[in-house]
């Protein structure tokens, strides 16, 4: 009897201790950051350095600072192979603990976009996804800072026309793009601008199985003789296009790509022959920055990075852009921690955080990343920030900054964003909008 | 009326108006066709000898090319890396025969097909682990493949022929000729064909199934390496090369799964016709990218009239 009583008391005490310990443990639990990554498949060559960058910034914070405000960050990858169906599976698999979704493909983004209203998990798609996501009132759970694809297309046109789009009148611009939601994304804006400014837009799609043999597309370019070729390429398509451009002897200084078409690895294939090729970019690599010194010390030299040092990945545009993507996310988490005075913010609190990012020049300098990312800030109405971008140019061995900060023609884009956001909300009715946002 | 003109007259008028451009289109089609034929050949050889549709042929192309470039990056001279890669492909063939195929002898075809999907997944993971996912530069110059271009000026225009494409075409022709001689004239070649005709009969006259399978998978590995070098020289070596295997499927449908000749003629026909269709009909009338489906449409049309493909064997079974 005595023994039974003792056991009962002991069990009760253990239970009580456990019930007290649970909230404390939950509070100390790491912030779970899943990434729908692709290190395999046809897009692995471009995906891998980006994922390495994202991962290494989180590792740096955990190693150098013990996490973020004392809480560890748990970075976790779910492999999608850039496949939309697998991406949706990964979303479903990780959403229970996720504080954010990083879908990593415009196709996957479009699939999880309607789910975000139900699951109430913010989608962070830096520099990709559906451009009208900039309209925070309609897309209250989706973010695509610091520049959208439409911003990118606008900046490219501004740059090639020296700031005067009317000078493009009667000129021919070939739009070489992946035949995929990502590649088609800027088309609505380009069509509007072509009509308004009188240039002739020639869309040239490249199928997934044709990425490495684009001879038909480049024969068309030879026949059409466009004044400029604008490329929205990804993965193996970039390397395929650049080698064909060299083969066709298309002038490289008239060939411009989006930020995902500016990968060192693709240009290294042609080396000197690719000299003059440009790519708009909202990030610039700077291996001398204090942040990079810390990455080297705490992550790379400590053997905690997966980068391929022999291939110069550390200095590459994509690796350092991957770092910047995590910088953006962490700034959002930090804003949420401070606003709500919590260590481990909920997805709903992170939504506020992502709406209140202020990565100005001073903050970037504080982070040791001055000049590596365009300065921008978000709000409940503006989920992109529209920080703009710089033109990077291939000098035969590496990409170098070749312009001052460019900004998109927002007046034109805003109209289209509002129109397409409204169209999307109507097509997916009932679509909840953020009525609390008064901006 | 204008529509009919666009379909029936304008394309031919365009061809006549710019004959140099037409020649360029035909050349690009021929190069594409040779490359498709090479991939299809890998499938045909394995199917012919073992009735296995080798889903892993695409990833074998990637694996062979990555091994070659990977060895070179590790400091092995290019001319040594080439035989070493062949040795790796031989080891791979022996391993596949011993670990995957031998335990599955006499299993239904679908089981063997599923096993090749397993091989594909294994090679993707294994390749990633060893070589990483980055795009690598094919060691074209180190293998003494010329990289310049030859420019002709026929009809007042110009036709540019890449020397590496020309090398690819000649190399593929030599490889195919050697393969045909090997299959038709050598003892092992006859054994391979005998196995393809009737497993039981071949076994009863003492042909070793396991030896032939190793040889056939090794030859498929050699073809994969040749394909990998040629495609890799065009747009780098990465896992994206795996996608090109899909281009072989319509070639196989058109040419027939068992016919070496079918793979060659099917590949060339699809390469040239899809390029002509894309340039003169697809781009002006359908917004381009018809190459993604044209070959399948063509193959389907052929299948309507010849279900066994152009050169496939007509199977008549007594029931």
Does B134 lie at the interface with A, CB-CB under 8 angstroms? yes
Chain B, residues 167-226, CB within 8 A of chain A, namely: none
Could you give the number of structural domains in chain B?
A: 1
Q: What pLDDT is recorded for position A23?
A: 43
Where does the pLDDT of residue A18 fall: very low under 50, low under 70, confident under 90, or very high at 90 and above? very low
What mean pLDDT comes out for the span A98-104?
Answer: 94
Q: What is the DSSP letter of A394?
A: E
- Two tokens at A413? 């884009």
Question: What distance in Å separates the CA atoms of residue B163 and residue A129, rounded to the nearest whole number?
Answer: 41
Q: Which residues of A touch B162 (CB under 8 A)?
A: 247
Q: What pLDDT is recorded for position A19?
A: 44
- In-domain check, residue B312: no
Q: Which residues of A touch B246 (CB under 8 A)?
A: 209
- In-domain check, residue B283: yes
Write out pLDDT tens, residues A162-221: 999 999 999 999 999 999 888 999 999 999 999 999 999 999 999 888 888 898 999 999
Residue with tokens 């073992």: B50
| DSSP-assigned letters across all residues of A129-156 | S-GGGGBTTTSTTEE--S--HHHHHHHH
Q: Considering only CA atoms, which of A253, A205, A203, A193 is closest in space to residue A228?
A: A253
Q: Which residues of A touch B35 (CB under 8 A)?
A: 213
Nearest Cβ partner of A209 from B18, B133, B247?
B247
Instruction: Please give the residue range of the domain that contains residue B259.
Output: 2-305
**pTM recorded for the entire structure:** 0.85
- In-domain check, residue B170: yes
Where does the pLDDT of residue A432 fall: very low under 50, low under 70, confident under 90, or very high at 90 and above? confident
Nearest Cβ partner of A39 from B128, B231, B291?
B128
Nearest Cβ partner of B239 from A42, A216, A266?
A42
Write out pLDDT tens, residues A116-125: 889 999 999 9
- In-domain check, residue B258: yes
Higher pLDDT residue, B144 or A8? Answer: B144
Nearest Cβ partner of B21 from A223, A239, A310?
A223
Q: Which residues of A touch B133 (CB under 8 A)?
A: 39-40, 44-45, 47-48
Sequence-distant (6+) residues with CB within 8 A of B179 are B41, B45, B219, B260
Q: Do A44 and B133 touch (CB under 8 A)?
A: yes
Report the SS3 class of residue A399: strand
Question: What distance in Å separates the CA atoms of residue B129 and residue A243, rounded to the nearest whole number?
Answer: 27
Nearest Cβ partner of B279 from A46, A219, A247?
A219
Residue of B nearest to A51 (CA): B133
- In-domain check, residue B153: yes
Write out pLDDT tens, residues A324-361: 999 999 999 999 999 999 999 999 999 999 999 999 99
| Successive 10-residue mean pLDDT values, chain B, 319 residues | 84 90 94 90 86 88 93 91 95 94 85 92 87 80 86 84 90 90 89 81 86 91 92 82 83 86 91 94 89 90 85 70
- In-domain check, residue B314: no
Domains identified in chain A and CATH numbers: 29-148+286-387+410-427 (3.40.50.2300), 151-281 (3.40.50.2300)
Predicted confidence (pLDDT) at residue A143 exceeds the cutoff of 90: yes
Higher pLDDT residue, A310 or A317? Answer: A317
Q: What pLDDT is recorded for position B310?
A: 81
Question: CATH number, domain at B153?
Answer: 1.10.3470
Where does the pLDDT of residue A30 fall: very low under 50, low under 70, confident under 90, or very high at 90 and above? very high
According to DSSP, the residues that pair with B149 across neighbouring strands are B162
Residue with tokens 């604008």: A230
Q: What pLDDT is recorded for position B246?
A: 82
Question: What distance in Å separates the CA atoms of residue B55 and residue B113, rounded to the nearest whole number?
Answer: 7
Question: What distance in Å separates the CA atoms of residue A128 and residue A110, rounded to the nearest whole number?
Answer: 11
Exposed, middle or buried, B130 (CB in 10 Å: 0-12/13-18/19+)?
exposed
Question: What distance in Å separates the CA atoms of residue A27 and residue A221, rounded to the nearest whole number?
Answer: 58
Q: What pLDDT is recorded for position A28?
A: 57
Q: What pLDDT is recorded for position A330?
A: 97
Average pLDDT, chain A: 90
Does B35 lie at the interface with A, CB-CB under 8 angstroms? yes
Q: What pLDDT is recorded for position A26?
A: 45
Q: Which residues of A touch B234 (CB under 8 A)?
A: 212-213, 240, 243
Predicted confidence (pLDDT) at residue A132 exceeds the cutoff of 90: yes
Question: What distance in Å separates the CA atoms of residue B40 and residue B90, rounded to the nearest whole number?
Answer: 20
Q: What pLDDT is recorded for position B127?
A: 87
* Cα dihedral across residues A31, A37, A39, A40: positive or negative: positive
The interaxial angle of helices B163-185 and B187-197, nearest 10 deg, is: 80
Distance from CA of A248 to the nearest CA of B (A): 8
What mean pLDDT comes out for the span A150-154?
Answer: 97
Report residue B117: phi and psi, to 5°. -65, -40
């Amino acid at each position: 009897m005595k023994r039974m009583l003792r056991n009962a008391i002991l069990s009760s005490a253990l239970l009580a201790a456990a019930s007290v310990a649970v909230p404390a443990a939950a509070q100390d639990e790491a912030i779970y950051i899943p990434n729908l990554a692709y290190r395999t498949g046809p897009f692995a060559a471009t995906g891998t350095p980006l994922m390495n960058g994202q991962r290494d910034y989180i590792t740096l914070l955990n190693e150098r600072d013990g996490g973020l405000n004392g809480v560890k960050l748990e970075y976790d990858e779910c492999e999608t192979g850039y496949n939309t169906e697998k991406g949706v599976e990964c979303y479903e698999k990780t959403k229970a603990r996720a504080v954010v979704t990083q879908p990593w493909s415009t196709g996957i983004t479009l699939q999880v976009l309607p789910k975000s209203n139900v699951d109430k998990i913010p989608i962070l798609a830096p520099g990709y996804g559906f451009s009208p996501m900039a309209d925070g009132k309609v897309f209250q759970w989706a973010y695509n800072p610091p520049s959208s694809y439409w911003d990118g297309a606008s900046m490219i046109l501004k740059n090639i026309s020296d700031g005067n789009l009317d000078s493009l009148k009667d000129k021919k611009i070939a739009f070489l793009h992946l035949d995929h939601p990502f590649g088609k994304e800027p088309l609505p804006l380009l069509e509007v601008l072509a009509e308004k400014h009188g240039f002739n837009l020639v869309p040239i799609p490249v199928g997934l199985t044709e990425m490495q043999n684009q001879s038909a597309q480049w024969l068309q370019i030879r026949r059409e003789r466009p004044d400029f070729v604008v490329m929205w390429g990804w993965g193996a398509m970039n390397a395929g296009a650049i080698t064909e451009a060299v083969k066709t002897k298309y002038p490289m200084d008239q060939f411009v790509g989006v930020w995902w078409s500016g990968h060192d690895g693709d240009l290294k294939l042609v080396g000197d022959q690719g000299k003059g090729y440009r790519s708009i970019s909202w990030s610039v690599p700077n291996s001398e920055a204090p942040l990079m010194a810390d990455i080297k010390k705490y992550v790379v030299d400590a053997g905690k990075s997966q980068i391929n040092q022999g291939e110069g990945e550390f200095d590459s545009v994509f690796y350092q852009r991957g770092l910047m993507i995590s910088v953006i996310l962490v700034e959002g988490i930090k804003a949420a921690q401070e606003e709500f005075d919590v260590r481990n913010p909920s997805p709903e609190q992170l939504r506020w955080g992502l709406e209140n990012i202020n990565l100005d020049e001073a903050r970037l300098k504080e982070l040791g990343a001055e000049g590596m990312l365009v300065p921008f800030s978000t709000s409940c109405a503006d989920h992109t920030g529209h920080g703009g971008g710089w033109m990077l140019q291939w000098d035969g061995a590496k990409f170098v900054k070749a312009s001052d900060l460019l900004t998109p023609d927002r007046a034109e884009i805003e109209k289209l964003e509002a129109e397409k956001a409204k169209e999307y909300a109507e097509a997916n009715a009932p679509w909840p909008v953020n009525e609390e946002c008064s901006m | 009326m204008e529509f009919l003109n666009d379909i029936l007259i304008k394309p031919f008028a365009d061809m006549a108006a710019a004959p140099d451009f037409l020649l360029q289109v035909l050349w690009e089609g021929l190069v594409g066709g040779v490359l498709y034929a090479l991939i299809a050949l890998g499938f045909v050889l394995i199917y012919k000898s073992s009735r296995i549709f080798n889903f892993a042929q695409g990833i074998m192309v990637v694996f062979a090319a990555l091994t070659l470039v990977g060895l070179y990056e590790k400091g092995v001279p290019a001319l040594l890396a080439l035989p070493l890669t062949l040795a790796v492909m031989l080891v791979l063939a022996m391993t596949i025969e011993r670990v995957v195929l031998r335990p599955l002898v006499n299993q239904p075809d679908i089981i063997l097909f599923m096993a090749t999907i397993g091989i594909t997944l294994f090679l993707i993971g294994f390749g990633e682990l060893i070589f990483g996912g980055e795009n690598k530069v094919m060691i074209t110059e180190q293998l003494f493949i010329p990289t310049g271009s030859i420019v002709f000026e026929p009809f007042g225009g110009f036709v540019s022929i890449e020397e590496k494409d020309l090398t690819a075409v000649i190399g593929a022709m030599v490889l195919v000729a050697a393969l045909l001689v090997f299959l038709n004239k050598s003892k092992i070649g006859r054994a391979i064909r005998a196995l393809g005709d009737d497993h039981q009969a071949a076994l009863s006259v003492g042909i070793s199934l396991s030896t032939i399978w190793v040889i056939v998978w090794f030859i498929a590995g050699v073809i994969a390496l040749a394909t990998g070098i040629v495609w890799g020289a065009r747009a780098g070596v990465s896992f994206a090369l795996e996608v090109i295997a899909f281009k072989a499927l319509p070639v196989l449908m058109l040419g027939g799964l068992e016919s070496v000749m079918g793979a060659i003629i099917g590949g060339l026909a699809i390469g040239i016709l899809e390029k002509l269709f894309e340039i003169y009909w697809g781009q002006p009338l359908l917004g381009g990218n018809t190459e993604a489906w044209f070959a399948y449409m063509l193959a389907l049309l052929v299948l309507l009239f010849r279900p066994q493909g152009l050169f496939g064997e007509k199977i008549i079974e007594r029931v």
